[in-house]
Amino acid sequence: MFNPLQRVPLLLFFLALSTISAAESDTPISRFQNYLRINTAHPNPNYTSPITYLINFANSIPNLHSKVLHLTPTIPLLLLTWPGTSTPSLPSILFNSHLDSVPAEPEKWTHPPFSAHKTSDGRIFARGAQDDKCIGMQYLEAIKTIQSKDPDFKPLRNVHILYVPEEEVGGFDGMGKFVETKEFKELNVGFVMDEGQASTNDEFRVFYADRTPWHMVIKAVGTPGHGSRLYDNTAMENLMKSIEVITKFRESKFDIVKAGLAANSEVISVNPVFLKAGIPSPTGFVMNMQPSEAEAGFDIRMPPTADPQLMRKIIEEQWAPAWRNMTYEITEKGFLRDNMGCPLMTLTSDSNPWWSVFNEAVTRAGGKLSKPEILASTTDARFMRRLGIPTFGFSPMKNTPILLHDHNEFLKDTVYLEGIKVYESIIKSLSSFEGSYEHRCNAVSQQ
Annotated binding site for Zn(2+): 98, 131, 168, 195, 405
Instruction: Say whether 373 is catalytic.
Output: no
Helix (H) or strand (E) holding 327: strand 326-332
Phi, psi for 211 (deg, rounded to 5): -85, 155
Tell me the sheet residues that pair with 76: 70
Q: Which stretches does DSSP call E strand in 122-268? A: 123-125, 159-164, 189-194, 207-210, 212-221, 225-226
Q: Is 177 exposed, middle or buried (0-12, 13-18, 19+ CB in 10 A)?
A: buried
- Ramachandran region, residue 325 (left: φ > 0; alpha: ψ -120 to 50; beta: rest): left
DSSP state of 131: T
Instruction: Say whether 167 is catalytic.
Output: yes
CA–CA separation, 301 and 310 (whole Å)? 14
Q: Which stretches does DSSP call E strand in 18-154? A: 65-72, 75-82, 92-98, 117-118, 123-125
CA–CA separation, 360 and 367 (whole Å)? 9
Angle at 240 between CA 236 and CA 245, to 5 degrees: 150
Neighbouring CB atoms inside 10 A of 8's CB total: 8
Of 100, 266, 409, 413, catalytic:
100
CA–CA separation, 57 and 311 (whole Å)? 48
Of 132, 166, 167, 409, catalytic:
167
CA–CA separation, 339 and 360 (whole Å)? 30
Neighbouring CB atoms inside 10 A of 352's CB total: 21
CA–CA separation, 115 and 113 (whole Å)? 6
CA–CA separation, 169 and 172 (whole Å)? 8
Cβ atoms of 28 and 420 closer than 8 Å: yes
**Residue 78 three-state SS:** strand
C-alpha neighbours within 13 Å on the C-beta side of residue 443? 2
What are the catalytic residues? 100, 167
